[in-house]
Structure 1
Amino acid sequence: MSEQLQHEILSLLEEDSRLDQEQIAHMLGESKENVAQTIQELQEKGVIVKYGAVINWQKSGKQRVSALIDVKVTPQRGYGFDALAKRIYLFPEVRSVYLMSGAYDLSVALEVDSMEAVGRFVEKLATLDSVVATTTHFVLKKYKEDGVILDDPETDQRLVISP
């Protein structure tokens, strides 16, 4: 399997994970078997880890609270930040965990059903060994997520003037 084919398949799936192998084969001028084998190998190697949809929860009618939590930690000898990051990403409400440069060490993205649930999570997080401080930021509105614009396109609010 060529590296170029892998990258082309990955780009197509990243843009639209609903594409089936036949559609990808047609778009790339490849055989369906070659595309299927390449996708299987990419999944086995852990390059493709999940297929999903971007949901605009604001339009769904279901309340979702998103928060970003900056975490300052004391790194553990022999493990650095990895052991604590693993403890954090195993919580089911955690969407993402990133090692950061700057004033804080880890950034945790959280998505839950209420502000109270964010508070309960921050209490769990703050009591973990090595956690020195946390700062919580609530997401008030999402304009763009995973490359998809969620904001409604603006309509022209100007008055029509005719001569």
Structure 2
Amino acid sequence: LFEVNVFGALNCIRAVAPYMKQQRRGQIINVSSVAGKIAAPYEGAYAATKFALTAISDAVRLELRDHGITVITVYPGPIDTPFRDNALKEIEPPSASRVLRRIPPVRVAEAIVRAVRDERAEVYVTWFDRGAVILKGISPRFIDWGMRRFYLRRRAKRG
């Protein structure tokens, strides 16, 4: 996970940053996850990679700003791809697909286009994810309660 989610992104940034600095312009877009802001039970390793990518994005944004380079971090939410079916089937509650309505990839692409146009530092594709991150900043215990309820209790019912 770290090889792709962290070191892959970091290597790409290292490869393009010198050229962008020469041009005095450029945009770097890193696709993270709300898991890079809020860790869920049984997803610690995945969340760690996304927390790392978020931290790298924040640091690089500050480092490259004076060179005319913007860095955007995208938090797409549950995209309608096979990822959830393949990677998370053992840990995600069966009811998650009803609660976390999957969004079409085109909606993520549209959000990225808007973020590039508006030069935003972060973009959350869903209001649910943005709200959860804001709420975690206000009341981490409430988010912990919600995570326990959503993941752990449903997992216990499955046996």
Instruction: Report which of the two has the higher share of strand.
Output: 1
Is TM > 0.5 for Structure 1 vs Structure 2?
Answer: no
Instruction: Report which of the two has the higher share of helix.
Output: 2
Larger radius of gyration: 1
Higher relative contact order, structure no. (Cα contacts within 8 Å, ≥ 6 residues apart): 2
TM-score range, shorter chain: under 0.3
